[in-house]
Amino acid sequence: MLDANAALIRLLTFGGGLVFFLVMEISAPYRLATVSKLRRWAVNLGLTALNTLLLAALFGTAKLALAQHVTQNKLGLLNVHPLPYGLKLLIAVAFLDFMLYVWHLLNHEVPLLWRFHRVHHSDLNMDVSTATRFHIGELFISALITLGLIYLIGADPLSVIVFEASLGLCAQFQHSSLKAPAWLEGLWWILFVPPSMHRIHHSVKIKERNSNYGTIFSLWDRALGTLLTQVDQAGIRIGVGGHFDAGKLGLGRLLVMPFTRYVR
Ligand SMILES: [Zn+2]
């Protein structure tokens, strides 16, 4: 029952976010596409479907089963002392988001991990479909780490569901190519990650790319000195050096990209 409900929430937030941000992008685009959107969407949604089929079902069940197990057996840091439930949920979500920040930073700094993560950065335009353009290798390792973290912190199933839904929607918003009003960008910056902040992270310039690692909260970048704001947004070129030919960024090429010539 829990599995079915969680799968439904995952499907509704993913599908709802995809349609919502696509409509917003079309009605108020930040930038016009420089390569075929249709082709990019086929590739990005192809990767998403593959990852969902091979990983999401398996790990989705495993994460919830583990969260149920640690809650019932009072395992993990959050179950050492009784805490108000709202606080527990907030700590679990913030902790998982902080560890994702660390993981994302490592994906940029460790050459072996970058081989996989550059598949995400190789998108030549950014839009809501970029949010789920990941190599299955990266998602596999990160799902294993997440299982360890759920155990360590003692996250309950609802915390895991809330974290994953927030993560998905925040990722879709920050990748979307929509012209968010300045007041919303300004307000969102205070706590969260707006599209302008994440656009800098997708720049071909390595100095710009190795900044702004946050997904839900911008606090971690602010506190740990990886926040970059003063960048001419109109001048940002999206992508990874060495992968500028859209014709060579099909699904098959992306799947073997981690095992081909290393591109910093
Ligand atoms: Zn990145």
Tens-digit pLDDT profile for residues 55-114: 988 899 999 999 999 999 999 999 999 999 999 999 999 999 999 999 999 999 999 999
Q: For the chain, how many structural domains are there in total?
A: 1
Within-domain flag for 83: yes
Q: Note the pLDDT tens digit of each residue in 122-146.
A: 999 999 999 999 999 999 999 999 9
pLDDT at 77: 97
pLDDT at 200: 97
- Residue 221 Cα to ligand 1 midpoint, Å, equals 13
Q: Note the pLDDT tens digit of each residue in 150-173.
A: 999 999 999 999 999 999 999 999
Q: Note the pLDDT tens digit of each residue in 217-234.
A: 999 999 999 999 999 999
**What residues have CB less than 8 Å from 185, skipping those under 6 apart?**
194, 195, 196
Within-domain flag for 33: no
- Residue 129 Cα to ligand 1 midpoint, Å, equals 15
Within-domain flag for 162: yes
Contact between 44 and 132 (Cβ < 8 Å): yes
- Residue 226 Cα to ligand 1 midpoint, Å, equals 12
Within-domain flag for 127: yes
Band of residue 261 on the pLDDT scale cut at 50, 70, 90 = confident
**pLDDT for residue 194 is more than 80:** yes
- Using alpha carbons, list the distances in angstroms from residue 96 to 143, 170, 248, 251: 12, 14, 35, 30
Domain housing 68: 2-28+39-185+249-259
- Residue 120 Cα to ligand 1 midpoint, Å, equals 7
Within-domain flag for 200: no
Within-domain flag for 204: no
**pLDDT for residue 1 is more than 80:** no
- Residue 117 Cα to ligand 1 midpoint, Å, equals 7
- Residue 146 Cα to ligand 1 midpoint, Å, equals 18
- Using alpha carbons, list the distances in angstroms from residue 38 to 35, 41, 81, 129, 247: 9, 5, 52, 11, 13
- Residue 74 Cα to ligand 1 midpoint, Å, equals 35
- Residue 201 Cα to ligand 1 midpoint, Å, equals 6
Within-domain flag for 205: no
pLDDT at 241: 87
Within-domain flag for 9: yes
Query: Whole-model pTM?
Result: 0.95
- Residue 233 Cα to ligand 1 midpoint, Å, equals 17
pLDDT at 142: 97
Using CA atoms, how far apart are residues 179 and 245, in angstroms rounded to an integer?
A: 26
